[in-house]
């Protein structure tokens, strides 16, 4: 699918994998809407790539809709990348046998609200706008790429909420692709392994932490780069025969229990 002159929304586009995807989409000729909570970094990147920043919290439907409308004004909205996401680490129960020490239910709900429901809300609103596009010669109107995680399959100790949210994204990939097939919109999901982004913090301690994490990767024994993930996002967008699939990009890692 050719995206020259089309508009593209990247949620979580101000940082990490989303920022790399935004840069690569812009390099392919798309007008990118960087949709993120972080206005400073989002605006800076939008300026760098000739796109626009939209202040979006993916738990706020009206903000998503405003970003979709903004994108559709720049050009036909043909691309949505859902990269906004948060993590949370907590075991299901505490060590002291007290009910009050069990997993924070508000935190569980928040992770689901952002990573899963937020992703679906962006899909349903962006796909509605895409369904109005003129189809290309292949009948295509758009392509959607979600960011899950290998934690959808091998969630570690403390990852109940995160794995549930990403497992939900994996689970809805095929049915949503089926729903949108009549409109010529493809849906794929990328499941990253351990990728070197600000999600792991910055500074000496985090560099050491990341170097240790890299030892668990099958090959190459290092963290992935945001560009290696963004390259798969571009493939999902531009390869017209890729649909309804979940693709691990993880150096072959299978996460151990902890
Ligand atoms: P990051 O922390 O560098 O970027 C995430 C971006 O999402 C940030 O700019 C943040 O402001 C934005 N964001 C957070 N909550 C938001 C909300 N409610 N509304 C709008 N924007 C929001 O993270 P990274 O590493 O680039 O992660 C991107 C995606 O990839 C996430 O969904 C993450 O779960 C997933 N992932 C990352 C992995 C890694 O090792 N870095 C591994 C597996 C999955």
pTM above 0.95, yes or no: yes
Nearest CA to ligand 1 atom 19: 57
Residues 135-171: tens digit of each pLDDT: 999 999 999 999 999 999 999 999 999 999 999 999 9
Whether the Cβ atoms of residue 236 and residue 188 lie closer than 8 Å to each other: yes
pLDDT at 14: 98
Delimit the domains of the chain by residue range.
7-249
Smallest CA-to-CA distance from 217 within 193, 248, 246, 191 is with 193
Site to substitute for ligand 1 among 10, 14, 16, most atoms within 8 A of C-beta:
16
pLDDT at 224: 98
Cα(14)–Cα(38) distance, integer angstroms: 7
Class of domain 7-249: alpha beta
Strand partners, 164: none
pLDDT (tens, 9 = 90+) of the chain, 258 residues, equals 999 999 999 999 999 999 999 999 999 999 999 999 999 999 999 999 999 999 999 999 999 999 999 999 999 999 999 999 999 999 999 999 999 999 999 999 999 999 999 999 999 999 999 999 999 999 999 999 999 999 999 999 999 999 999 999 999 999 999 999 999 999 999 999 999 999 888 888 888 888 888 999 999 999 999 999 999 999 999 999 999 999 999 999 999 999
| pLDDT in the model for residue 200 | 85
- 81-118 exposure pattern, b = at least 16 Cβ within 10 A, e = fewer: bbbbbbbbebeeeeeeeeeeeebeeeebebbbebbbbb
Best residue among 12, 189, 209, 227 to mutate for probing ligand 1, ranked by most atoms within 8 Å of CB: 12
Judge contact between 36 and 53, C-beta under 8 A: yes
**Dist CA 70 CA 133 (whole Å):** 15
pLDDT by residue (tens digit) across 110-134? 999 999 999 999 999 999 999 999 9
- Name the residue among 187, 208, 189 with its Cα closest to residue 144: 187
Q: How far is CA 122 from CA 108, 113, 127, 140, 186, in A?
A: 20, 12, 8, 19, 15
Nearest CA to ligand 1 atom 26: 16
Cβ neighbour number for residue 177 with a 10 Å cutoff: 18
């Amino acid at each position: 699918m050719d995206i020259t002159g089309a508009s593209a929304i990247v949620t979580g586009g101000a940082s990490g994998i989303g920022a790399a995807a935004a840069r690569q989409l812009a390099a392919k000729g798309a007008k990118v809407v960087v949709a993120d909570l972080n206005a400073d970094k989002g605006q800076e990147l939008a300026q760098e790539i000739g796109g626009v920043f939209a202040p979006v919290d993916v738990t706020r439907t009206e903000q998503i809709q405003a970003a979709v409308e903004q994108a559709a004004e720049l050009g036909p909205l043909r691309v949505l990348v859902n990269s906004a996401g948060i993590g949370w680490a907590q075991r299901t129960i505490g060590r002291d046998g007290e009910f009050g020490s069990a997993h924070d239910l508000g935190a569980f709900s928040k992770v689901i609200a952002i990573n899963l429901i937020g992703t679906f809300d962006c899909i349903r609103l962006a796909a509605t706008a895409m369904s109005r596009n003129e189809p290309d010669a292949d009948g295509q109107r758009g392509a959607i790429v979600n960011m899950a995680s290998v934690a959808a399959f091998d969630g570690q100790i403390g990852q109940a909420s995160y794995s549930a949210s990403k497992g939900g994204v994996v689970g809805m990939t095929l049915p949503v692709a089926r729903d949108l097939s009549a409109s010529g919109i493809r849906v794929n999901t990328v499941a990253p392994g351990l990728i070197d982004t600000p999600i792991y913090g910055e500074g000496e301690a985090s560099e050491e932490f990341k170097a240790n994490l890299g030892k668990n990767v099958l090959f190459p024994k290092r963290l992935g780069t945001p560009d290696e993930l963004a390259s798969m996002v571009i493939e999902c967008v531009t390869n017209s025969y890729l649909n309804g699939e979940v693709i691990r990009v993880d150096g072959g890692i299978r996460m151990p229990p902890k």
